[in-house]
Every structure is written in structure tokens, then in C-alpha cells.
Amino acid sequence: MRHEKGETLLTLALAMQAARSGLTLRQIQDRFGVARRTAMRMKDAVLRVFPQAVETEGGDRQKRWHIPPGTLDRLVSVPADDLAVLESAARLMEDQNRPVEAATLAALAAKLKALMPPAHARRVEPDLEALLEAEGLACRPGPRPSLDTEIVTTLREALKAGVAVRLTYGSRRDPTPTARIVHPYGVLHGHRHYLVGRQSEPTVEGVRTFSVPRITAIEPLGQPAERDPDFDLGAFARQAFGVFQEDPVDVVWRFAPEAAAEARAFVFHPDQTLEDQPDGSLIVRFRAGGLLEMAWHLYTWGDAVEVLSPPELADMVHPHRRGWGALP
């Protein structure tokens, strides 16, 4: 016998308790991917089982339903699958050179285990070990810059508090560390991590990036961070292939027929378009900057890729292509 409907209603009840201001019908629709009438039936079924649920109306005149805290606590348990995902995420953060996030996720997993009844914890532990072993998460080999976790933690706190910071920073062009006041906008994560922000002392026009490993000291200031209300971190990130910010250009790559299927499985850029060609090859188009990072990636494809545009990128890639004998 299948119990999906019961599981769905219990999940909705838990969500109603977790949402401090309650859930609207629209939020129920979006969360469970159902039509409005189905969302109403689900809501009514939960309210019949939990009559202590509170109905409120917000400033937007939408009704919300909330189950008081503690009502469902004894019904909640953490299965091995959920813990495995959490611990895998911690390993992934460690592999991506994000030690603060990795430590936070590992601590959260430990807290959840501590809250489990001993008998349930004993049942879950073998399944958890089996899942983690079966998943076989491989850490990425190769060099990566070391990070000062105190600097990363302080930067995260400044971003949450919305305050400016004084950085001691040395760039690649000018490696001598100097003090500068920066209004942080966010962080771009990758093999290298970059703080995105506006520098006010000494004044530098526009938004710029700061390599986090090159920050040798950071001090939160008492002044609020001045932020351009029209700035969009996601749009800023999409201007680049990786994290290097350059003026975006139109990029066109052609993957040979034997590499087309593999290339189709890649997301080279969020705004890419793919064009299948009559000969079986694949053309990829997008607009971004960061030609050096593109070249680094294209080297891994050997002679299976041809740069059609821009010519500057073709000059960087074509003389160094090799027939690797296998796809990436």
C-alpha cells in the first residue's frame, strides 16, 4: 500500500510549523507543485488533524496558516538519507575550499545526531555509513589557495550585518598589502573565492573583486555598507565565464561530433544556447568575459573543440590543442 499522500500532508504540517508567519495557498502550490484547488484540499486536511492551527491575515490581505511550535516535534525524525546528504554537502564545501561552511554543516549534522533518541541513532548509523561509502564522493585533487578561517568568518558577519570593512589587501599587480575601505556586496565562490564590493578609500570607480586569499586582515567598521540598489550579484557573476571580470564578448565554440554528446551535458554558462549541426557537431554560444579562464577549460578538450569567436580566444587556444585520445 502506498502512503505518499499521508507523507505529503505530514510534510505540509511540518512546513506550517516551521514557517513563523504561516503558509499561504500560493506558497503551498509552489512548494508541492499542485493546483490551487488541490492546495486548498491539502490545507483543509491538515487543519482537520491539527485544529490548533492558527489562521492569520497579513498586510497583503492573504490568509496564512501556522501550526504552533512544538506541536509536531515528537513526529519528526531524521532519516539516514537526509544525514548522508548533509554530510556529503559538508565534504563538498571542504573540497570547494569553503572551510567555514564545511564546519557549519558538520556541526549541524552532529546536532541532529545528538537530538536523536539513542535507539533511532543506532539504527541510522549503519545506513549512514553505507550511503556515504556508496556515494563515493571524491575530493578534487590539485593545488588550491589556503584560507584564513577567521578572515572568512569576519567577512561573513560583515555581510550579514551590512557594514563596511577595512581590508589589508595586496593585489597581484601591487602585492604590497595596503589598507582600503570596502563596501561588500557578496562573495563569488570557485577554485578561488572573490569578495565583490565597492572601494571607497582610496576611491576606485565601479564594482570590483578582491581575492579572498590575498586579504591579510579585516576589520568591520561602524558605518553601514553603501550599496547600489540596482546592483545584482547574479547578473554581475554571469558577465564572466569564471570569476575574472572583463568586458563580456560574444563567445562561439564548435565541438566535434565525437565530443558533442559530452559537451551537451555541460553548462558552460547560464545563458548558453546549443545548436546541433548537420554533421553531428555542436555549437555553443554565450556572452561573457574571462578569456584566460575559458582557455584553461578548453585545453582539457584538446582538439575536440574549435573556437569560432572571439579571435583573441582562438589565438590563445588553437596553438596549444592536443589530441588527448579521450574526452574529458
The H-or-E segment that residue 207 falls in is strand 207-211
> Can you tell me whether residue 115 is helix, strand or coil?
helix
Could you tell me the pTM of the whole model? 0.50
Instruction: Provide CATH 2.30.30 ranges for the chain.
Output: 149-238
Residue 123, pLDDT above cutoff 70: no
- 4-75: which CATH topology? Arc Repressor Mutant, subunit A (1.10.10)
Q: What is the dihedral of CA 28, 34, 36, 42, to 10 degrees?
A: -60
Q: What is the pLDDT of residue 324?
A: 54
Joined grid coordinates for residue 214: 590575498
Residue 180, pLDDT above cutoff 90: yes
**What's the Rg (C-alpha) of the chain?**
25
CB atoms within 10 A of CB 285: 17
Grid look-up 573556437 returns: 307
CA dihedral (73, 75, 79, 82) positive or negative? negative
The CATH classification of domain 149-238, taken from the options 1.10.10, 1.10.3470, 2.30.30, 2.40.50: 2.30.30
Residue 132, pLDDT above cutoff 70: no
Q: Flag the least confident range among 47-61, 88-102, 140-154.
A: 140-154
The H-or-E segment that residue 10 falls in is helix 4-18
Buried b (16+ CB within 10 A) or exposed e, 125-153: eeebeebbeeeeeeeeeeeeeebbeebbe
Q: What is the mean pLDDT of residues 158-186?
A: 88
**Range among 94-98, 116-120, 237-241 rated most confident:** 237-241
Q: What is the pLDDT of residue 121?
A: 64
pLDDT band at 96 (very low <50, low <70, confident <90, very high): low
Residue 281, pLDDT above cutoff 70: yes
Decide if domain 249-320 falls under CATH 3.30.70.
Answer: yes
Q: What is the pLDDT of residue 244?
A: 66
Q: What is the mean pLDDT of residues 278-295?
A: 91
Instruction: Provide CATH 1.10.10.10 ranges for the chain.
Output: 4-75
Contacts of 132 (CB under 8 A, 6+ apart): 84, 87, 88
Give the chain's mean pLDDT: 82
pLDDT band at 137 (very low <50, low <70, confident <90, very high): very low
pLDDT band at 293 (very low <50, low <70, confident <90, very high): confident
Q: What is the pLDDT of residue 219?
A: 94
pLDDT band at 92 (very low <50, low <70, confident <90, very high): confident
